[in-house]
Amino acid sequence: MAPIAVGDVVPEGTISFFDENDQLQSVSVHTLAAGKKVILFGVPGAFTPTCSMQHVPGFIEKAEELKSKGVDEIICFSVNDPFVMKAWGKTYPENKHVKFVADGSGEYTQLLGLELDLKDKGLGVRARRFALLLDNLKVTVANVEAGGEFTVSSADDILKAL
């Protein structure tokens, strides 16, 4: 499947997360993003070095600025279970705006065409590192990294595009 691209409508699919009341929610991406400007940024793995020390902190630090430019939701996405994503999110006590969501079986990652095969490293199939800007479900920016790079999908890259 070809990777999601600018002009595409994000596919319908289900992701999971723990809400502010610590209740597990499984919701459709369309429900989360319809009628909104949303950043969906994906990482290969929770607790991994580049994801934990650069990618996620950048979106947390720039969240107010992103919101001031019209962004309604900032969603961190990974092929992990929702319990891992919840635990990872709690390692950022300063976070007020980034929602940590799980694609437990990688099905939504496959619908996006953004799989990263890391079986040779013992990590299975994960999501490629990416940052999508959605406007009412339509992709207006698609910054997708090659391999394990971190060169085009930062919060600063999205800010430049807004």
Residues acting as catalytic residues:
51
Helices and strands (H and E) in the chain: how many? 7, 9
Is residue 101 a contact partner of residue 24, using CB atoms and an 8 Å limit?
A: no
| CA–CA gap between residue 78 and residue 126 (Å, rounded) | 7
| Residue 80 per-residue DSSP state | S
| CA–CA gap between residue 114 and residue 139 (Å, rounded) | 14
**Going by DSSP bridges, is the β-strand pair 73-78/14-18 parallel, antiparallel, or unpaired?**
unpaired
CB contact set of 28 (below 8 Å; sequence gap of 6+): 12, 13, 14
